[in-house]
A and B are shown apart, each in its own frame.
Chain A
Amino acid sequence: MEKNRIRKCALVIGLATMMLIFLSESWAAEEKYPSGQIEIICGMVAGGPADLLTRAVARGFEKYMGATVVPGNKVGGGGIVATTTVANAKPDGRTLAVLAETSVLTAIALGRATYNLADLRSVGQIALFPNVLAVRADSEWKTFQQFLDFARKNPGMKYAHPGIGSTIFLKMENMNKFGKMGMVGLPFKGDPEIVAALLGGHVPVGGSVMTNFKTHIDSGELRVLASFDPPELVGLDPKIPVVESVFGKELGDIDVPFSLVAPAKTPDAVVRVLEENLQKIVKDPEFVATLQKIFLVPAFVDGKTVNEKNLPEKMVRIKRILARIDMPK
């Protein structure tokens, strides 16, 4: 009986100690910002360019702020789930997200958002995603103008895009309608399928982020006809035309920036710390090198400009594009 009693006591004490250790760990986390744990969410799948960007940002914050920064993924609805999570999170600067501004706004414009823009606040813009238009290298179109003429003479050509409602679709369909190219969109699930469809000859032209196209461009299998952003930014031949310069400013093209976003009510002091460090990160050589590998363009814009100028402007453009391409039905 005695042995049993002692065993029981030991067990209880052991358990109590472990619980105390656990409790003290979490209470200790309530230190002064920015020490303690910060979470940065990404709305896209692990391994994709958006996710790699998020991880690079997390590493940058660890380096410059000395905090423990944990990247996480909350996939769903093309970013809607992640955006909703950060919109509803506690505004203490410990939950942030790296989001595509365009996706955030498009969801609202389409009436699908489960968050309000007023609940979000950009800390600063981080980088741009350059998109390009590519065809198979052995196809007959060597320049964008050739392709343009061909498309107009042969209405009904198919172009590949990663899904209706995606930013690339918006841009390409906008170009299609404005330029009267007469093309028909062929949706695919995910960028790798677009590459496969192009290489396999199932679709003549497709649009995607450079990240997915680069190895094939280098190996000579794909040819870039046009870029939506200045081609030198991603190491392309500067003679490749920029879409907006071909069609003119009336096209109203949108770029694809990624921002660090926090809940709107996050205290200004916290946001300032984050913004200052973000600016340093975007200039950091290691960060720039990483982004170069994934063909993203580091481009910092301060939070105030993003929130007060860029986002509203972009929303106007998005709504104009949606109207032009006849969405939402």
Chain B
Amino acid sequence: MPDILSGLLSGFQVAFDPLNLLFCFAGVFIGTLIGVLPGIGPIGAMSILLPMTFGLSPVSSLIMLAGIYYGAQYGGSTTSILVNIPGEAASIVTCLDGYQMARQGRAGPALGIAAFGSLIGSTFSIIVLMFSVITLARVALKFGPPEYFSLICLSLLISVYLARGSFAKSIIMIILGLLLGCVGIDSVTGIPRFTFGSPSLYDGIGVSQIAMGLFGIAEVFENLEESLSRVVFKTRVKNLLPNLEDWKKSIGPIARGSILGFPLGILPGGGAVLASFLSYALEKRISKNPEKFGTGAIEGVAGPETANNAGAGGAFVPLLALGIPPNAVMALLLGALIVHGVAPGPTFITKHPQVFWGVIASMYVGNIMLLVLNLPLIGLWVKLLKVPYRIMMPLILVFCLIGAYSINNSVVDVLVMVLFGVVGYLLRKSGYDSAPLVLSFILGPLLETTFKQSLIMSDGSFSIFTQRPISAVTLAIAALLLISTAFSYYRKAKADVAFGDGGA
């Protein structure tokens, strides 16, 4: 404990160095911008700024790059709440209730609780990271392919709770998402599937293109249907910040979001996106009024926003403790560190304590900066809502187009986004809800890969899933969940029949 305190103190000394403060601010500021703009993710910004950091000390570079990363997690919710367009995949669930809150004149509280939740989630992850980074990383190493498979099964099961409306339609969406995930080169056999000869599809369809199309472009199409004189927002905004009632409702989701999001960030492949989706599903499941979700329940914003920031913090664990990046952004940070000659790994903390503690301390500083940055902006964003739609709409499309193009400097991505825009529009008109599709799209390839890897490891035997302790426990939880859901569904169906009504 005293080691940690002294480490932290020395870290703060580094973090408060004026130059580092400047870089921290630059990082979080750019990160927020990037998060707000749809499509352009933190990777793009970080790789552009990477050369600039070559002349700086390792601490300063890491501070700035890390700032961009978690800054982007803050900004992502803004467009979701204001215009129902997710800035990135992790912000999709924020659209579901956040936008509804905005329509009810409660954009301010939505943005506010998102900002505060993000702060709490980030801070929570930093504190836990500080105390137990090495232990956590070692535990994470125990997760091999069979463990991941079981975890993903559990996640897919939970994602059913994302479903709104007709059960059959949600199942179709989930299956469709899984199918879309099959596009690309199969990782185990190396054979291209459903790529129609186009190399851009060899790595599969990008989730950003799908998200921006299904939620962004489709949203625009849908809005075009209504005659433009109908103003969809209550122009009298009641409050700019969440009130006591909001806080009471949000405390639980925020706490649960932090605890759920952090471990998910540590494990590769999921991260912030998975954290936000699962948090939403969890909140809906344990809520006393699940039907409120989707109509503007603040829990649906507080939980996911906290979870995705906690997940972003969790992603630092394997990177700093072991030098293993759990996602592409961390891989970039790793590259930056390697170039500076400060490769993270098991000896990182002991060999370069000033870098480690400097970064930790600056994360605290950065999060405070972000809150200070984002809160006053709420007033600005709310004013933005008053801009007439006939001017906003072209701007929204322009940003989506640029965002999609910037993913890989390729027009193909823009076309894919537009295609999914059309698909998303048609789906909405027919009463299908696209959120489960996105989640299963992300989980599908992971499910298949880990399944095949596990079978290779066990030479074809299924027992590998039940023999390894972590995997067995996870599968047991999944089975319990399945049984309890089926049971309650059965009871509900029986009750409905008794009352002569139709079920879902």
Contacts and interface: CB of A to CB of B under 8 A. Distances in A.
Direct contact of A and B (CB under 8 A): yes
Contacts of A80: 199, 202
Contacts of B143: 200
Contacts, number: 145
A154 to B, nearest CB: 12
A195 B340 CA distance: 21
A164 B188 contact: yes
Interface in A100-135: 112, 114
A186 B189 CA distance: 10
A215 B187 contact: no
Nearest to B350: A219
A164 B189 contact: yes
B252 interface: no
A206 B340 CA distance: 26
B134 to A, nearest CB: 12
A59 interface: yes
Given A48-B331, A112-B192, A197-B144, A77 B203 contact: yes
B142 interface: yes
B346 A216 contact: yes
A39 to B, nearest CB: 10
A211 B343 CA distance: 10
Contact size class for A? 35 or more
A298 interface: no
A47 B339 CA distance: 9
Interface in A143-166: 156, 158, 163-165
Contacts of B141: 196, 199-200
B157 interface: no
Interface in A249-278: none
Interface stretch (B79-87, B173-181, B319-327, B429-437): B319-327
A23 B142 CA distance: 58
Contacts of A199: 141, 322, 324
B502 interface: no
B185 A77 contact: yes
Interface of A: 45-49, 51-52, 55, 59, 71-78, 80-81, 84, 112, 114, 156, 158, 163-165, 184-190, 192-193, 195-197, 199-203, 211, 214-216, 218-219, 221, 290, 293-294, 327, 329
Interface of B: 43, 46-47, 50-51, 140-145, 185, 187-192, 197-200, 202-203, 268, 318, 322-326, 328, 331-336, 338-341, 343-348, 408-410, 449, 453, 456-457, 459
Closest 5 CB pairs of A and B: A215-B345, A47-B335, A164-B190, A47-B332, A77-B202
19 contacts: A46-B46, A46-B50, A47-B331, A52-B338, A156-B459, A184-B456, A186-B453, A192-B325, A192-B326, A193-B268, A195-B324, A196-B268, A200-B143, A200-B144, A202-B145, A211-B338, A215-B347, A293-B340, A293-B341
